[in-house]
Structure 1
Amino acid sequence: MSHLDDTTRTELEAAAFRRLLRHLDEHKEVQNIDLMILADFCRNCLSKWLVAAADERGVELDYDSAREHVYGMPYGEWKAKYQQEATPEQQAAFAARQAARQETQGE
Structure 2
Amino acid sequence: MNYSKLINEEQLNQIKIYLKVDIDYEDDLIKEFLDSVALELVDAIDSSKIPADFIDDPRFHLAVKKQAKEEYEHRGLTADTMRYTLANGVDNIIHQLRVKGVVLDDNTQTQRTDYIF
Q: TM-score, normalised by structure 2?
A: 0.28
Q: Which has the higher helix share?
A: 1
Q: TM-score, normalised by structure 1?
A: 0.30
Higher CA-based Rg: 1
